[in-house]
Structure 1
């Protein structure tokens, strides 16, 4: 009986040892598979890079079926790949087309590196007019000779002459901690090169003041693809220069103490969706995502139209009066200079 018990005990121990040994071996094999499966072979790694490259290249330019739709130009985070993609971007599009694409993304050439995705229209209109978020015609503005509107929600400006949209473009308005003042205002004074009151290092080409006491105006400065200014309305250089020549300044009384007439009417409205998706990115889902309806624009302008027309009429009278006075002075005979003996 004792011999039988001893044999059974020995047999049990032997089986246990075999099971433990097998378990350890299985674990080793399992670990080996885990390690090797997580490491790509050089060939697999190369194939992976090739596949990624193909995916990137296929997205440039985006293939869309209908005119008016947009595609995405994806930019990788890796610097070398990013440089390569911008090289493709430069070869794919002309200088004017690149300018238009960046403008649609609220960027200038200097700040294009800020983008991780560029919204690109299938058919590029270098004037941007084909992509205007503003209505092409506003009857409420028909009697208004010049009108400029800045939209905070979509970071864009529009220019109307007698109700017809003549120009629009991108802007970068006040950041969240220094929002741009909104409401109806009028263009005041202008200066080809102003120096910022915030920092003397900031040069502001083609500066046009619209809120005099607040020191707020539009001018050329960096467009980084989001609201970034210290309350002013940043523009591309070409746009700042164009608006500098387009808008009318105020007319001051002799000595400059009071205003005889106001300049071009300007409306700044709305607020930016801070922390949300950039408005122009929505064009990838809906080409009309940024469009402002005639009804919406009319509703915003109508309460101020009487004031706008009143100031326009006053300015015309003041300018006519000044021109008439100049004409009289020009017709007056010049006093001959006394001849010295």
Structure 2
């Protein structure tokens, strides 16, 4: 064998030794610094959280305030009508608790930087409510923010503006249940008042939701006013009560409804502060949880009762 070839196995051994030494050193560094990888993970988590927050901030709706000076109100309203499409105008008016008929009442309007016909991106209500996960349907009406919300099994499916009872005819607070409905009802207060898509929620007090004027503040005679499309939606969405034969007694109640909170009469409306505080008109999960909790057992009890009545009515297959 050539002398040079005799050196090859020895050189290979040296190479293997050096490689093993390098691996051992790397393992020692990792052993001596066990928190290196965790620190790296923490840094990555912080970066991801920061990016997520930046994304949320970028997607957050911002608002500007359009002011209608008394001397130039007509010209500003004219400019408003030209700047925004009919659909965009309806969105803006809804956010300001107004309908088209009453837009002339506006002294200011909160205007979003993006438009969503469903209104869901502007929702002041939580998108999820764990307390309601077993509740099939429920309607919530808030006095402070003059808005309603519909939940199905704890998930918000729709919200919109309302006008509840005025100061001397306030809407009853607390838990009620949807009773009977009529596509076009006549008010018992004034026979000239036509109430499309009326759904009664308190039979003895004559309280119900229906379509009627939204002037931007509580103005009804205790009923829950809605936009036409919203009234129609709730009319078809909510369940009526179930009566015994002859209609003398109630076998099962309809969809639960909770009216809650107090309105700051004479104070600035929360939706008019959106430019400076996009959360000014929001209701927290904790706040709604405290409102629902005292009524939850009754809601579930009535829901179970209704399910049994319906099951008993269904013919055997």
Q: 2:257 aligns with which of 266, 275, 282?
A: 266
2:156 counterpart of 1:165: yes
The structural deviation recorded for 1:66 is 7.3
The alignment partner of 1:249 has SS state of coil
Structure 2: tracts of 5 or more residues without a match: 1-57
In the alignment, which residue of structure 2 is the partner of 1:146?
137
2:59 counterpart of 1:70: no
Q: Deviations over 1:285-331 (max 9, x none)?
A: 2100111111111111112111111111111111122222xx78xxx
The alignment partner of 1:311 has SS state of helix
In the alignment, which residue of structure 2 is the partner of 1:248?
239
Q: How does 1:203-222 map to 2 (within 5 A)?
A: 203-222=194-213
In the alignment, which residue of structure 2 is the partner of 1:300?
291
Q: How does 1:77-226 map to 2 (within 5 A)?
A: 77-78=70-71, 81-226=72-217
In the alignment, which residue of structure 1 is the partner of 2:228?
237
Aligned residue pair count: 260
Q: What TM-score results when the alignment is normalised by the length of structure 2?
A: 0.80
| Structure exhibiting the larger radius of gyration computed from Cα positions | 1
CA distance, structure 1, for counterparts of residue 283 and residue 59 of structure 2: 22
The structural deviation recorded for 1:86 is 2.1
Structure 1: tracts of 5 or more residues without a match: 1-64, 329-341
CA distance, structure 1, for counterparts of residue 194 and residue 254 of structure 2: 24
The structural deviation recorded for 1:255 is 0.9
Q: Greater RCO between the two (CA within 8 Å, min separation 6)? A: 2
The alignment partner of 2:98 has SS state of coil
2:286 counterpart of 1:323: no
Q: 2:280 aligns with which of 284, 289, 301?
A: 289
Q: What TM-score results when the alignment is normalised by the length of structure 1?
A: 0.74
CA distance, structure 2, for counterparts of residue 243 and residue 66 of structure 1: 29
The alignment partner of 2:308 has SS state of helix
The structural deviation recorded for 1:151 is 0.3
The structural deviation recorded for 1:69 is 1.4
